[in-house]
Every structure is written in structure tokens, then in C-alpha cells.
Amino acid sequence: MMNCIYRGLKVFLYYLSVLSLCRLIFCLVLHEYWGPNTGWEDLLQTLWLGSRLSIQTAGILALFTAVPAGLINILSRLWSRRVESLLSGIVLTITSILFVASFPYYGQFHSRFHQLLFNAGNDDMYALFISLVQEFNLPLRLAGALLLAFCLWQGLKYFLAWGEAKPRTAYSLYIKASRDKSIATGAAMALLLYVLGRLIVFGGSWGWETALEWENVGVTKDSFMNEAILDDYQAIYRGYRMNNRMLACNGLNFTAEQIQQLAGELAGRSADSNNLDDYLRREAQGAQVAKPKQIFLIVSESYANWPLLDKYSQLHIADGMKGIIAGEDADYCNAMLPNGASTISALTGVTTGLADANLYLTTMPESFKQPYITAIAPQMEKLGYITNFWYAGPATWERIGAFTEAQGFQHFYGRGDMPEEAEGSVWGCDDEYLYAQVLQKVSPDTSSFNVILNVSNHSPYTVDVAAKGFDADKLRQALPPEAAKDDCLVNELGHYWYADRELAGFVKNLKEKYPDCLVLIVGDHADRYNIDKQPSMYERYVVPFVVTGAGVHKGILLPDSAGSQIDIGPTIIEMVAPKGFVYYAIGSSLTRSNRQGVNYGFWITRDFMGEADRIPLEPVQIEGSQGRPINEPALQHYIDAVRSISWWRPKYGPVLDEALLKDR
């Protein structure tokens, strides 16, 4: 058995070496895809991160080879070697075919294997086969892949045999020690397997806090290098996961006729058109502030509204935002819903203006063809702004780099654009470094619209908040006894404190550097941690929405305003656009008319909140509100309109035709 384990470790090492060598060759052969500022340091970083990630791949492949061989070895050593040879041949053949195919695939799609691979079954398979033969020299490439596989297979055989033929090698000494039943040798082997096991499980890392996976590993500033970090198996797994996410979208139960009627009600006009975009057309009523040169929309990770409530003022973890809200140049809506339960929902809501309606927009091919008509970036560009998206994490997370650019942002800046010395977690650099980069790169002389998404207030909560000045003992004194004993909660609240402090400092610096700027702040979602183990619906889910800057004043937001993240785009446009400016939106401005919000599961007004799927509605009054009555039928129609339009428009396009439901 010890002999099988030793051979299994050698198989693992060989597979890892092959995957790493394939990555190096891939990078060198396709060097023309390197960015203009990409150099050898980037290549070394790619090889290092890729090799760490491939530890997981190699471990799985080695188990596929070694476990059956080890089990059969109990009965027959001869058949064990034959099974090992067969399975390793299969692995190396698949590896070689994928490696050879990755070159034309990247040339065609500028991506390693991705979701499109799983959509091939919907194509004309004969036509696809002919195209592969004629355009990509399938027979020649396949022959080359099989030849490569044979060479690698022979190489593995020599590698496994090396040591067995030499009596004084480490292998022979190991065998002798194992026969002597050496306790030290057994312990060393157990330790080695434990270390490798952890590295395999956590993607080349020691724990989940720093684990590498396809979503967070693309941290270089070069999109090609970010793709090269993935080995072919990891790339296919990425495509599989993203395809499954799209297939999980189950749609909503609305007919085209129902959506047409709802869209007419939402637009306040007769439902006389089968073009959905006619109902989404808006005309700005006239600027409410002098047109700012720079606009900053900060989407802050896990920035819930509950710490801003008076009942939690003794915690002092939201003093920075409270100070901003108290200013004469600021207004605040405390009835704002996130677009969904995760950051990706906030991303899609803010950038596309579409509500979360059971569609995973970042995996849909339609999202990458052109911006949706309600997308904010192209409309801000028409107003004369350069559009930038800033993200503290890697461009590969949820394809955020490609997605935001496909939705009209002219520039995307991610983890690879941050300083190398910037500290952070596996998800991205800390807020202070992200904000410093924005301040450094955004020119005061150029009109720009900037969306900024941070990550620090997110597990695994790696910021050294004590070193930043967070007084945990003082916080514990303000907490209920049970909460004060919860070290995890205290650390989480410390990260909220850090996010709040950095955000307040950033806003102050923005106003100093760009005196006429407009700044908007919203949490991406809540529902991560609360002091109360059974928080109210309001405290659990609501995020703050704050607007501040030149020309802003108390009351610029309607006193009974409420909304969700799809209302942010219309709010910005109505604040800065000239009268008559045409734009498209599902939501509406919190400065003009919006008094309700809806998301994936909830609705809200300034006074009530409830679950969107409950019919009839079951309003729950928000603590401390005036309890102003709501028009429940009108609210139900609003909920249905927002959700149905946000489902139909990206999935079927602007034409409202029942036949489209049957064709897909």
C-alpha cells in the first residue's frame, strides 16, 4: 500500500508539472495577446498563481488514477499497474486534446474554455464538425494532440520507473523503511499527505480565507494573463458553473399581453404598443443641481442601514456616514432595497437598470452583445461623461470586467490596476487602496461618471482593524452581554467601522479635490450580520442611500421617497440632465416621483415593508415610521411591472410577442 501511495504522489507531481508547462507554453506561443504594458513579471505572477490553482486540478486527476490502481493492487500488483497505465493514458490524452484546442479557442473567443462550450449542443452539430475540420484543421490538430499524449504517457512511465531501478535511491530507501514498519517514515508520509490534501482542497492555499478558485484568481492587469492562470480543466469548470447558473433561471409567469398592460400602467400611458422600449422612454424634467464635472457612485460591500439607526448609536461604527448625512449638502433615504441578496445582483441592478428577476445576467450571451437600453453608462456618456467602473477585486469575478464594458463602461479598473503593495483579502484590496487609486487616476479636468465597488467589509474579514484604530473593548461595552462575547461579530462590526471610516474620508477627499462633484452612496446588500439574532425585516435587508455634493440640499430627495438600486440611474439623470433629455429606465427618480421599491423578494415604502410574493400583500410597519397608508392594488401592479419587464426585456428583447415564449 505504501508503494501505491508513493507512486500516487509521483503521478500527482507529474500532472502538476504538465499543467504548469502547458500554461507556460500557452503564454509564450500567444504572446501577441499580451497587453502593451505586460512584462515578464506579469508572466511569473501568472505562472505562480496558475500553478497554485492547478494543485487542485492535479490532485483530482491523481486521485482518478491512483485510487482505482490502489484498490486493485490489493488483489494483483500486475493489474494495478495496467489500470494505472490505462487511466493515466486517458488523463494525458484529454489534457493534450484540451491543450491543443485551447489555442484556436482563445484566438476565436479571446477566452479559455467558457460557457459557450456548453451551448454547442444547441448548434447544428454537423455544421460545427465541418467548421472544425475546414477552419481549424481538426484532423491535423487531433493527430498532434494524440502524439503529444503518447509522449507524455511515455514520460510518465519513465518517471514512475525512475527510482525503482536504482537500489540506493530515495524510493528504495523508502520501501525498505516501509518494510521495517518505520514509525517515523509513516508519520512523515501522513504529514505529507495532510499538507497536500489541504493544498488540493483549498486551491494551493492553506485555508479557505486565501483559497484560490476560478472566480478570484484573475488579479493581474492583463486580461490574457488572467485567462492563462486557469488551466483547461479549471476553465471548463468555470464554463460549467456559469452555464448552470443561467439554466437555473426559471422565468416568471407573465404573458406578453399582461406585460404590455403593466408597462402601460408603469409609464402612465395607454398600452397601445408592442414595443416594450416605448414604455421605458423618459424625458428629464430639468437639472436640479449645476451639472457636476465628476459623479461618483459608491456601492459599498455589506453596508447595511441598521447601524445608522438611533437605537445603535452607542456602537459608534457608523459615525462617518452619520456625519455626511448631517451635512447641509446631503440627503438620505432610509428606505432603499438592494437589488438582490448578493453583490452580483447589486452590480447588475446599478449597471443595467434591470431588477433581479430570475435571470443571471452576467452569464447570458445577450448581456455581452450590446448594452441594455436601460443601462446607465451609455446614457451618462450621452450627457458628456467618460464612464469608469472601479472594482477592488479581480476582473474575472463574475466576469465583472467584461460585463461592465459590454454594458457600456468605457474603462474598467480591477485588482490588477491597484498598486502591488496594496493589502487585502482573496477578494480584493482594502478600501483605502481602492479609494486612493480613484483619487489618483480621476482627472479634475475631465467629466467622468465613476461607479466604485469595494470589498473590505466581506468575509474572511482580514483587515487588521485594531491596527487601524478600532477599539474592540469599547465596542464590547456597548453591546448586549451575549453579543459582547461573540468575537466573530465584534470583528465583523469592526470591519463595518473600517468601511464607514474609509468611506467618510474618501467622500471628504472627493469634495476637496473635485469641489463641484456629486457623490452617491449605497450598500450593495445587507443580511450578513446583525446584533439581534432575530432582526426585523427592515433591519435585516435595508441599505442606506445617500446623496451629497455641490448643489445638494435637504429635501432634494422626496421626504417619503423609497426605492431600490434600479432607481439610482434615473435619480442621477434627473438631478443633472437638461430638460427634455431622453433616457430609458424601469425605475424612477427618488427626487421626482418614486415612493416604493421592489427587489427579488421584498417591497418597501417609507412606512411599510413586506414580501413581494405574498398575495395579497401583508404590510409590516417600519418601526418609528408615520404609518401612512399605502395603495395596495397600485403597489401590486408596480411590483408585477418591474419584475415582468426586467424578466422579458433581457431574455426576449423589446418586442412583446407571445410567440417568443413558445420559440424558446
Q: Give pLDDT tens digits for 232-264.
A: 999 999 888 877 766 665 556 789 999 999 999
- What is the band of 130 on the pLDDT scale with cuts at 50, 70, 90? low
Distance CA 408, CA 299 (A): 18
Mean pLDDT of the chain: 90
Q: What is the mean pLDDT of residues 264-289?
A: 97
The three cell numbers locating residue 384: 458628456
Work out whether the CA dihedral 231, 237, 242, 246 comes out positive or negative: positive
Predicted local distance difference test score (pLDDT) of residue 53: 93
pLDDT at 615 > cutoff 90? no
DSSP strand pairing (281-283 vs 518-523): unpaired
pLDDT at 564 > cutoff 70? yes
Distance CA 645, CA 150 (A): 55
- What is the band of 599 on the pLDDT scale with cuts at 50, 70, 90? very high
pLDDT at 193 > cutoff 90? no
Provide the CATH number for the domain formed by 259-663 in this structure: 3.40.720.10
- Show me where the domains of the chain are located: 2-245, 259-663
The three cell numbers locating residue 108: 476565436
- What is the band of 101 on the pLDDT scale with cuts at 50, 70, 90? very high
Instruction: Please answer whether residues 170 and 163 qualify as being in contact, where contact means their C-beta atoms are separated by less than 8 angstroms.
Output: yes
Distance CA 34, CA 583 (A): 38
Report pLDDT digits (tens) over 35-65. 888 999 999 999 999 999 999 999 999 999 9
Q: What is the mean pLDDT of residues 316-344?
A: 96
DSSP 476-491: HHHS-HHHHT-HHHHH
Distance CA 407, CA 376 (A): 8
Predicted local distance difference test score (pLDDT) of residue 152: 96
- What is the band of 128 on the pLDDT scale with cuts at 50, 70, 90? low
Residue labelled with grid coordinates 482580514:
462
HSE of 571 in the Cβ direction (CA atoms, 13 Å)? 32
Report pLDDT digits (tens) over 358-402. 788 988 889 999 999 999 999 999 999 999 999 999 998 989 999
Distance CA 539, CA 450 (A): 29
Cα Rg of the chain (Å, integer): 28
- What is the band of 168 on the pLDDT scale with cuts at 50, 70, 90? very low
Distance CA 352, CA 333 (A): 22
Q: Is the peptide bond before 460 cis (omega within 30 degrees of 0)?
A: yes
Kind plus residue range of the DSSP H or E element containing 380: helix 376-382
pLDDT at 281 > cutoff 50? yes
Of 435, 437, 381, residue with least CA distance to 407: 381
Share of the chain above pLDDT 70, in %: 91
Q: What letters, b where the CB count within 10 A reaches 16 and e where it falls short, cover 26-62? A: bbeebeebbeeebeeebbebbbebbbbbbbbbbbebb
Report pLDDT digits (tens) over 1-27. 567 777 889 999 999 999 999 999 999
pLDDT at 167 > cutoff 60? no
pLDDT at 212 > cutoff 60? yes
Distance CA 537, CA 609 (A): 8
The three cell numbers locating residue 567: 432607481
Cβ neighbours around 10 below 10 Å, total? 18
- What is the band of 123 on the pLDDT scale with cuts at 50, 70, 90? very low
Q: What letters, b where the CB count within 10 A reaches 16 and e where it falls short, cover 321-354? A: bbebbeeebbbbbbbbbbbbbebbbbbbbbbbbb
DSSP 500-520: HHHHHHHHHHHHHHSTT-EEE
Report pLDDT digits (tens) over 396-408. 898 999 999 999 9
- Considering only residues 25 and 136, tell me which one the structure prediction assigns the higher pLDDT: 25
Of 488, 497, 341, 487, residue with least CA distance to 431: 497
Any idea how long the chain is? 664
Q: What is the mean pLDDT of residues 432-448?
A: 98
Predicted local distance difference test score (pLDDT) of residue 405: 97
Residue 34, phi-psi category: left (phi > 0), alpha (psi -120 to 50), beta (remainder): beta
Report pLDDT digits (tens) over 489-498. 999 999 999 9
Return all residues near 646 (Cβ < 8 A) that are at least 6 apart.
354, 355, 356, 357, 359, 566, 586
Where do the DSSP E strands lie in 245-385? 281-283, 294-300, 330-337
DSSP strand pairing (543-549 vs 518-523): antiparallel
Q: What is the mean pLDDT of residues 110-132?
A: 66
Instruction: Please answer whether residues 595 and 559 qualify as being in contact, where contact means their C-beta atoms are separated by less than 8 angstroms.
Output: no
pLDDT at 174 > cutoff 60? no
Instruction: Please answer whether residues 505 and 519 qualify as being in contact, where contact means their C-beta atoms are separated by less than 8 angstroms.
Output: no
Distance CA 359, CA 648 (A): 10
Three-state secondary structure call for residue 103: helix
Of 16, 420, 466, residue with least CA distance to 204: 16
Work out whether the CA dihedral 494, 499, 503, 505 comes out positive or negative: positive
Residue labelled with grid coordinates 448643489:
551
The three-point CA angle 259-260-265 to 5° equals: 95
Of 68, 55, 86, residue with least CA distance to 233: 55
Report pLDDT digits (tens) over 501-524. 999 999 999 999 999 999 999 999
Share of the chain above pLDDT 90, in %: 71
Q: What is the mean pLDDT of residues 27-31?
A: 94
